[in-house]
Homo-oligomer: A and B are copies of this chain.
Amino acid sequence: MKPLSIKDIALKAGVSITTVSFILNGKAKEKSISDAVIKKVQKIITESGYKPNQVARSLRTGNTNIIGLIVEDISNSFFSRIARLIEDKAYKKGYKIIYSSTENKIEKAQELINIFKSRKVDAYIISPVKGLEEDIQVLIDENIPVILFDRNLPELKTNYVGANHFEASYQATESFIKQGKKNIALVTTDIDVQQIAERFEGYKKSILDHTISYQKDLVLNIPFKQNEDETITQIIALLTNSNVDAVLFATNYLAISGLKALKQMGKKIDSNFAVIGYDDHEAFELHTPSISTIQQPLEEIAEAIIKLILAQLSSKAKLPDQKIVISAKLILRN
């Protein structure tokens, strides 16, 4: 009971394989196949339910119509939402997504690129890890479309789509200052990516620009691999030992941990103590009181990514690289 092949269809229709192929690919007119034959073959195709074998097709044409998506963790809502938006848009153009999570490990990411390469994916969408530069450069050299997103690797000449993290955390910090906050803490992570660095820089610059002195011990660097309980403990320590009156969290997961810490401490968010999160999360709006946050425009980011990818895929020549930086929005909730 093997699936039908183009050969079977050709046999049934009494024409050559070539003819069937031309008809399947809409080249019938151009190749001067008569209407009668076209109709006959098409009838047989629909009646038999024949579907071309994409694997064979890919081998012959070199295109798989698959886009590889490499993210840190697909179960993180930021990535899963982006993935969904990208999937939708890609699907409409006949592309499918194959994805994998790197867990922020270089070796895992490298392996993924290799696997995707041998699978001959047509293009890559990567939220990269530092240390991946060489591997990505190889892809670029082979003229395979690559779009980085969320995190940039500045030394790489390629496409990038992401939010303006510097500006966003600058503004968030500034909003604290305008509320009269004096001791503004930043809870961030130690993963070494540009985007996290930018969030720190925006915070620092804002503090210095407003003639508040920058206090190093108000910045908490949480080790990436650390388990949550430990993180909560550290946040509690930060908040008990000092007179912090505002906290900016650099990722949504840190903010969630932060809120848990506050809950454990019994510390309330009110006019004396303010909090801003990063990347929206349903818990923020629902929290009592609602939590303000820096919101990345997911839809716009996904849109930009897919536009870049499709442009590359449909153009024979290599297109000029683009770095697209989209403003994040500070959502102030009372």
The number of chain A residues touching the other chain, given as a range, is 35 or more
Residues of B within 8 A of A64 (CB): 55
- Bound-state CA distance A260–B284 (Å) is 11
Residues from 1 to 21 in A contacting B, C-beta threshold 8 Å: 1, 3
CB within 8 A of A100: which of B53, B77, B96, B263? B96
- Bound-state CA distance A114–B3 (Å) is 13
Interface mask (A119-133 → B, CB under 8 Å = 1, otherwise 0): 110000000000000
Q: For residue A143, which residue of chain B has the nearest CB?
A: B1
Q: Does A327 contact B (CB under 8 A)?
A: no
Residue from A52, A64, A80, A83 whose CB has the most chain B CB atoms within 10 Å: A80
A53-B97 in contact (CB<8A):
no
CB within 8 A of A87: which of B97, B100, B256, B287? B100
Q: Does A182 contact B (CB under 8 A)?
A: no
Q: For residue A79, which residue of chain B has the nearest CB?
A: B80
Residues of B within 8 A of A88 (CB): 101
Residues of B within 8 A of A56 (CB): 59
Minimum CB–CB distance from A69 to chain B (whole Å) comes to: 10
Residues of B within 8 A of A281 (CB): 282-283
Minimum CB–CB distance from A267 to chain B (whole Å) comes to: 12
- Bound-state CA distance A259–B288 (Å) is 11
Q: Does A147 contact B (CB under 8 A)?
A: no
Residues of B within 8 A of A117 (CB): 51
Residues of B within 8 A of A58 (CB): 55
A96-B115 in contact (CB<8A):
yes
> What are 17 A-B contacts with C-beta separation under 8 Å?
A53-B120, A54-B119, A54-B120, A55-B55, A74-B80, A75-B84, A84-B101, A87-B101, A96-B98, A96-B119, A99-B99, A256-B286, A263-B288, A281-B282, A283-B286, A283-B287, A288-B288
> Could you tell me which A residues sit within 8 Å of B by CB distance?
1, 3, 51-56, 58-59, 64, 66, 73-75, 77, 80-81, 83-84, 87-88, 91, 96-101, 114-115, 117-120, 142, 256, 259-260, 263, 281-283, 285-288
In order of increasing CB-CB distance, the 5 nearest A-B pairs are A283-B283, A75-B84, A80-B80, A51-B118, A54-B118
